Chain A
Amino acid sequence: MGHLTTETLGRLVSEVPTAEESRHLDSCFFCRSELEAVREQTQAMGSLPDLRPPAGDWEALEARLAGEGLIRSSGPSLPSPRWWPTPWMQAAAAVVLFLGGAVLGPRLTGTGSVGEFAEGSGPPGIQLIPVGTQAQPVSSIADAADAVRLAEQHYIMTLLQYRQLLDAQGEPGAIGDPASRFAALEAIVAAGRAAVQQAPADPFVNGVLVGALAEREALLRTATATPGIGIF
Chain B
Amino acid sequence: MTKQPRFNKILLKLGRDASNNAMMKPEKKKPLGILFWVCVGWIILNVLLAVFASFLPLIDPLYQNYDAVNSGPGLHHLLGTDDLGRDILSRIIFGSRVSIFVSFGAMSIAFLVGVPTSMLASLRRGRFDKILTTVMYSFLAFPAIIATISVLSFWVPRNLAKVIIVVGIFSIPLVYRVIRTASLAVAGREYVTAAKVQGATDRRILIREILPNITPILVSFLLIGIAQVVALEGALAFLGLSINPPTPSWGNMINEARTVLDVNPWLVIFPSIALVLFILSLNFIGDRLRNHFDVAEVKI
Asked whether A and B interact, the reply is no
Q: Show the binding face of A for B, using Cβ within 8 Å.
A: none
- Chain B: residues with CB nearer than 8 A to chain A? none
